[in-house]
Amino acid sequence: MTGLTVRHRRTVALDGIDLDFGPGVHGLLGPNGAGKTSLIRVLATVARPDGGRVELLGHDLSGHRELAAARRRLGYLPQDFGYYPGFTVREFVAYVAWLKEMPGAEAGAAVERAVARVGLTDRIDAKVKTLSGGMVRRVGIAQAIVNDPAVLLLDEPTAGLDPEQRVEFRSLLQELGGESTVVVSTHLVEDVAAACTEVTLVESGQVAYRGTPTSLAELGESVDGAAIGGNAMERGYTAALRGHRAEAATTAGARR
Ligand SMILES: Nc1ncnc2c1ncn2[C@@H]1O[C@H](COP(=O)(O)OP(=O)(O)OP(=O)(O)O)[C@@H](O)[C@H]1O
């Protein structure tokens, strides 16, 4: 994407950002309101940008036909994931497979495979409304991967998962990142440390930092631990944010 701009009324959620994502697991980190969801929604083709150009899997997302082609190869777990409570897990994931225009002959096996990958085979014929919050989240992940997407977008997928499920989910993420491009937004620096190949730190609609989890931890090692606190990765996160804020303040001062 180049010059990607998203506005919500007077709020600039994304301020002309340039980014590209290749194969692997990309962690999107940033404070509340930084613009992570706005970015994922544009990539998921559910929101139109106000400016800039976005290309996904070779499709320019400004074209209608291109959008449909891109959607078939996408997987998306929204932050507020809506589902039909009366559907069983199988029915719900099959419904998403149908929406993605998967051929009927393949869909049945694909649904079972996706549900198995999130560890819910024993509940596949249970109604979604009877599941715990963490299980519903896993159904959300299953529907996102049912079509073996080339690009998988996950907005806060670990919210509501217990620690054991989170650990299992991270290994699933690593597996998925070996096959496709995964973009995952999270508040948890541990998710990034454990599962991501690259980190993008977003702040006030801008890219504040890009690098590997190791380079972010190295940045944390280089700052005064007593002054910031936390582990190396958390210190790196804080130092990168503060660095970006200082730079933005200097630029704004120079403009005045
Ligand atoms: N529908 C909307 N109407 C008005 N403002 C919005 C809307 N959606 C987002 N915003 C604003 O746009 C900015 C970016 O929001 P966004 O949800 O993309 O951030 P985020 O990084 O995903 O935040 P969080 O971590 O809290 O989910 C924020 O200032 C937010 O208040």
pLDDT (tens digit per residue) in 92-121: 999 999 999 898 889 999 999 999 999 999
| 138-163: burial string, b at 16+ Cβ within 10 Å, e else | bbbbbbbbbbbbbbbbbbbbbebbee
pLDDT band at 21 (very low <50, low <70, confident <90, very high): very high
User: What pLDDT score does 133 carry?
Assistant: 84
Q: Which CATH number does 2-206 carry? A: 3.40.50.300
Residue 65 alpha carbon to ligand 1 centre in Å: 28
pLDDT mean over 65-85: 87
Does residue 87 register a pLDDT over 90?
yes
The pair of three-digit structure tokens given for residue 69, joined into one six-digit string: 């082609």
Average pLDDT over residues 77-89: 89
Query: The whole model's pTM is what?
Result: 0.93
* Atom 30 in ligand 1: residue holding the nearest Cα: 33
Choosing from 4, 7, 8, 186 the residue with most ligand 1 atoms within 8 A of its CB, the one to mutate for a pocket test is 8
Nearest CA, atom 16, ligand 1:
35
Q: Ligand 1: which residue has its CA nearest to atom 29?
A: 33
- In the reported structure, the alpha carbon of residue 222 is separated from the centroid of ligand 1 by a whole-number distance in angstroms of 32
pLDDT at 198 over 70: yes
The ligand 1 atom nearest the CA atom of 35: 18
Q: Amino acid identity of 233?
A: M
What is this model's ipTM? 0.95
- Cα separation, 195 vs 191, whole angstroms: 6
Q: What is the pLDDT of residue 182?
A: 96
Q: Given a cut of 90, is residue 162 above it in pLDDT?
A: no
Above 90 in pLDDT, residue 69?
A: no
Average pLDDT over residues 221-230: 77
Tell me the CB-side half-sphere exposure of residue 233, using CA atoms within 13 A: 18
**Residue 229 in this model has a pLDDT that exceeds 90:** no
pLDDT at 38: 96
pLDDT value at residue 225: 67
Instruction: Say if residue 148's pLDDT is above 70.
Output: yes
Q: Given pLDDT bands bounded at 50, 70 and 90, which one contains residue 151? A: very high
**Do 82 and 140 meet the contact criterion of CB atoms below 8 Å apart?**
no
Atom number, ligand 1, closest to the C-alpha of residue 38: 18
User: What is the best residue among 11, 28, 39, 183 to mutate for testing ligand 1's pocket, by most ligand atoms within 8 Å of CB?
Assistant: 11
Residues near ligand 1 (Cβ within 6 A): 8-9, 11, 13, 30, 32-38
